[in-house]
Chain A
Amino acid sequence: MTHEHKENTLTIYGTQLSSRLLIGSALYPSPKIMQQSIQASGAQVVTLSLSRQNPQANGGETFWQLIQSLGLHLLPNTAGCHSVNEAVNMAKMSRELFQTDWIKLELVGDDYNLQPDPIDLVKATEILLNDGFKVLPYCTDDLVIARHLVELGCEVIMPWGSPIGTGKGIINPYAIQAIRDRFPEVTLIIDSGIGKPSHATQAMEMGVDGILLNTAIAHANQPALMAQAFAQSIEAGRLAHISGLMTQRATASPSTPTLDQPFWHQVDYGYTA
């Protein structure tokens, strides 16, 4: 892969995507607004999930047809799973139903903040990778857990910025930056907690490769408009990262050349009463 190519595309297990925004399909006010928002985002990957079928509610067929009509890459999740066995079984069902070996592996470790269980996550990741899945693990921002996932063979890791649905942004920039710097070859996607476009820009400026969003778009007053805002903020952050941010300084430095200006102000360090 050329340097330029890597700069312009998001890579998910060899699949090149021009959009760096991955979008969820939940929480929208209506199916129509969901469709409009996903299209407005420019995302090429949409997440979805599984649940028990209710034949009286059309078996979810309407939603499934709507998602298929979008023609996007599908990224099924294992939301709500609390054990390795549950997650592995859900992944296998998703692969059969959605005809994809991509799986957004979620394993809840604590219901208080829906924090991923780092130990079972690693166990389930190993099982699924060995079974041919392309695992996109939702993890905390712990560098060592990230290392375990990468060493198992994950080409993508998806740490949280903050807990799901909180909208708090990246609560530990140091931790995210450490993962980025330690594993520059891995596709790094922030999977939860992004609440506003500036959060997404911040993450992208740090060198994160992509952002997965749902609540911040779906709960906006105008979700489709917010989807556009996020798409632009992610693009802005990416361009800024590639461009190279200036170094911060502790003191002011004039941008306008002051030498030979007609009104020259000599710096006076003396004390004036």
Chain B
Amino acid sequence: MTDSFEIRINNLPCKIQPNMPLAKVLALFGAQQPYALLINQQFVPSSQHDTVTLKPNDQVDVISAIQGG
């Protein structure tokens, strides 16, 4: 079995297994729909979420609506 590695989700450290599906990673984090995703500061459309493979030190940002002016 390959060693787990660390990524950051919303700037929090998170250890994951290689090839872990993104949906499972986000579920572990507790992400709640609806959200949009940045991976390494780049927008990843929801249509591509199923094909994402995370690498060590990736930064995932889970983004949702807040108040704004």
List A residues at the B interface (Cβ < 8 Å). Answer: 24-28, 34, 47-56, 58-61, 63-64, 67, 76-77, 79, 85-86, 89, 92-94, 96-98, 164, 214-215
The answer to whether A58 and B32 touch (CB under 8 A), given A89-B42, A93-B43, is yes
Closest 5 CB pairs of A and B: A49-B68, A55-B30, A24-B69, A214-B69, A59-B32
List B residues at the A interface (Cβ < 8 Å). Answer: 10-11, 29-32, 34-38, 41-43, 45-46, 61-69
The answer to whether A53 and B32 touch (CB under 8 A), given A47-B69, A63-B67, A96-B46, is yes
In the bound complex, residues from chain A placing their C-beta under 8 Å from that of B11 are: 52
Which chain B residue has the least Cβ–Cβ distance from A83? B41
With A34-B67, A51-B64 already in contact, 9 other A-B pairs whose C-beta atoms are closer than 8 Å: A25-B67, A26-B68, A50-B64, A50-B68, A64-B64, A77-B68, A79-B68, A79-B69, A92-B43
**B65 and A97 contacting across the interface, CB-CB below 8 Å:** yes
**A77 and B64 contacting across the interface, CB-CB below 8 Å:** no
- In angstroms, how far is the closest chain B Cβ from the Cβ of A214? 3
**A215 and B68 contacting across the interface, CB-CB below 8 Å:** no
